[in-house]
Amino acid sequence: MRKRIPYLIFWPQYFDKNRTINQGRRLPKNLAIEKVTLDDIEKAVKTLGYEYKIENTSKYPKTWWDNPGRILIDSKGKKKRKILFEIAKQIRKIKS
């Protein structure tokens, strides 16, 4: 079994503008991104300088048939919500 602490799990569904909060989105609509992929999240995390691991075969429990993969990020003691907003802002910079 993998040891998770200090790693936090981030799914692409957290950032997807086309999903509702009940479907897994964790950002407000104005910060959410359309068609976000695991690669987009990886680029943003790498730019921000976090240690990370990618698990391509894991599936989001609410939508197990859709978008496989998740990223584990070393939190360095930061709160998950703060990291989530940092990543979303960085993805927007990269995509624009």
- Record the tokens describing residue 68, joined without a space: 């496989």
pLDDT digits (tens, 9 = 90+) for 45-62: 999 999 999 999 899 888
For residue 61, whether the previous peptide bond is cis, meaning omega lies within 30 degrees of 0, is no
Its CATH architecture, for the domain 7-95, is 2-Layer Sandwich (3.30)
pLDDT for 5: 67
Domain boundaries, the chain: 7-95
The pTM assigned to this predicted structure is: 0.87
pLDDT digits (tens, 9 = 90+) for 55-89: 998 998 888 888 679 999 998 889 999 999 999 99
Mean pLDDT of 27-53: 94
Nearest to 79 by CA among 20, 24, 30, 10: 10
Written as one letter, the residue type at 84 is: L
